[in-house]
């Protein structure tokens, strides 16, 4: 009832781990898989090891998180060890990558393919790392070039993760027309101020807003792109419960990724959402999750 196939990859359920949360090592990803995730997306990995920004890098709000981690990661060479351990982990592994140029994206994608990733997710959307992510992902020409070149270089599916920090996300989604699937959304560019210190809270000043408060923005992005672009969409942003997930499916997502809710509710959220979405489908006479994808457009 919950299993889905996206780009010929079989997912036992449509609830995947989002990039950046407990996914810098194989051990933590195994933990998430044991808790019932239908697939895992790795931390975004770049050409070289990066330490990320100095603390504070996370600020908790009553309705979400602002993070400016600064894309800390071990670098693509070292990450091969983690990918090796994930072989035969039982669910698809999506290798997330970030680069500063088209050539870097191509290099990293080929590496991920060689490491056995089932698909590669291009992070064209991180809002707080200079020269990376959103700085590239707001430019439709660059998006088209990077997606096109990566597509030519690998035979695994290429997923493109989009930023909501644009005037028209449909324009960017169309620019990524060579992608096999679209992932949306990454975090919203945001900040917080410490009134006693009289300065920004985060060492980087700006960070990315995630969690329950961004769900309406993610839903709107999925809904708008579903109307205009004919390819699978993976919804992400503020999924904290089975009702949130169903909203994303009805807007047009074939699967959802979960990030911040793992930090706030714990990894048991995967099993809980699977159980409760399956109950809802049964109660409403649906045989498969596929039957509710995009129903809000009828």
Ligand X SMILES: Cc1cc2nc3c(=O)[nH]c(=O)nc-3n(C[C@H](O)[C@H](O)[C@H](O)COP(=O)(O)O)c2cc1C
Q: Which stretch binds ligand X (CB under 6 A): 8-16, 31-39, 256-264, 266-274?
A: 256-264
Residue 138: CA atoms inside 13 Å, Cβ hemisphere, count? 12
- Per DSSP, the three-state class of 133 is coil
The mark string for 95-134 relative to ligand X (x by CB under 6 A, - otherwise) is: -x--------------------------x--x--------
Under rule CB under 6 A, residue 137 binds ligand X: no
* Dihedral sign for Cα atoms in the order 23, 255, 263, 238: positive
Please count the other Cβ atoms lying within 10 Å of the Cβ belonging to residue 124: 30
From candidates 50, 128, 151, 161, binder to ligand X by CB under 6 A: 161
Under rule CB under 6 A, residue 19 binds ligand X: yes
- Per DSSP, the three-state class of 294 is coil
- Residue 289: DSSP 8-state: G
194 Cβ partners below 8 Å, 6+ apart?
A: 200, 201
Under rule CB under 6 A, residue 18 binds ligand X: yes
Let me know: does 202 contact 56? Beta carbons within 8 Å. yes
Nearer to ligand X, 80 or 291 (CB): 80
- Per DSSP, the three-state class of 244 is helix
The mark string for 20-49 relative to ligand X (x by CB under 6 A, - otherwise) is: xx---------------------xx-----
The mark string for 263-292 relative to ligand X (x by CB under 6 A, - otherwise) is: ------------------------------
Residues 68 to 97 in contact with ligand X, rule: CB under 6 A: 69, 71, 96
Nearer to ligand X, 6 or 190 (CB): 190
Let me know: does 182 contact 160? Beta carbons within 8 Å. yes
Please count the other Cβ atoms lying within 10 Å of the Cβ belonging to residue 136: 24
Q: Which of 89, 126, 160, 240 is catalytic?
A: 126
Distance CA 96, CA 240 (A): 22
Q: Which stretch binds ligand X (CB under 6 A): 3-11, 138-146, 231-239, 287-295?
A: 231-239
80: left (phi over 0), alpha (psi -120 to 50) or beta: alpha
The partner residues of 181 in beta bridges, in order of sequence, read 159
Q: Binding residues for ligand X, how many (CB under 6 A)? A: 27
Distance CA 187, CA 163 (A): 7
Under rule CB under 6 A, residue 241 binds ligand X: no
Under rule CB under 6 A, residue 187 binds ligand X: yes
Under rule CB under 6 A, residue 165 binds ligand X: no
From candidates 112, 138, 172, 258, binder to ligand X by CB under 6 A: 258
- 240: annotated active-site residue: no
List contacts with ligand X (CB under 6 A): 18-21, 43-44, 65, 67, 69, 71, 96, 123, 126, 161, 186-187, 210-211, 214, 236-239, 258-261
Q: Catalytic residues, which ones?
A: 126
């Amino acid at each position: 009832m919950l299993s889905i196939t996206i780009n010929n990859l079989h997912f036992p359920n449509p609830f995947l781990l989002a990039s950046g949360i407990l996914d810098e090592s194989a051990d933590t990803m195994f933990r998430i898989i044991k808790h019932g995730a239908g697939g895992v997306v790795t931390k975004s990995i770049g050409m070289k090891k990066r330490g990320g920004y100095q603390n504070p890098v996370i600020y908790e709000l009553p309705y979400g998180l602002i993070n400016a981690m600064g894309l800390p990661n071990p670098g693509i060479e070292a990450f091969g060890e983690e990918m090796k351990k994930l072989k035969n982990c039982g669910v698809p592994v999506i290798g997330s990558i970030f680069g500063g140029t088209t050539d870097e994206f191509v290099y990293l994608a080929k590496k991920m393919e060689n490491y056995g990733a089932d698909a590669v997710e291009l992070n064209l959307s991180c809002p707080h790392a200079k020269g990376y992510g959103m700085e590239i992902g707001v430019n439709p020409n660059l998006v088209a070039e990077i997606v096109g070149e990566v597509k030519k270089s690998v035979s695994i599916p290429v997923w493109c993760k989009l930023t909501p920090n644009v005037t028209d996300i449909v324009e960017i989604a169309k620019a990524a027309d060579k992608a096999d699937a679209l992932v949306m959304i990454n975090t919203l560019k945001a900040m917080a101020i410490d009134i006693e210190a009289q300065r920004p809270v985060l060492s980087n000043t700006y960070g990315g807003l995630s969690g329950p408060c961004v769900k309406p923005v993610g839903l709107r992005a999925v809904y708008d792109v579903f109307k205009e672009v004919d390819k699978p969409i993976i919804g992400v942003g503020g999924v904290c419960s089975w009702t949130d997930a169903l909203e994303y499916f009805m807007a047009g997502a074939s699967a959802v990724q979960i990030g911040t809710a793992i930090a706030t509710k714990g990894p048991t959220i995967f099993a809980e959402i699977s159980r409760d979405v399956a109950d809802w489908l049964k109660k409403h006479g649906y045989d498969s999750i596929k039957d509710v994808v995009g129903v809000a457009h009828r």
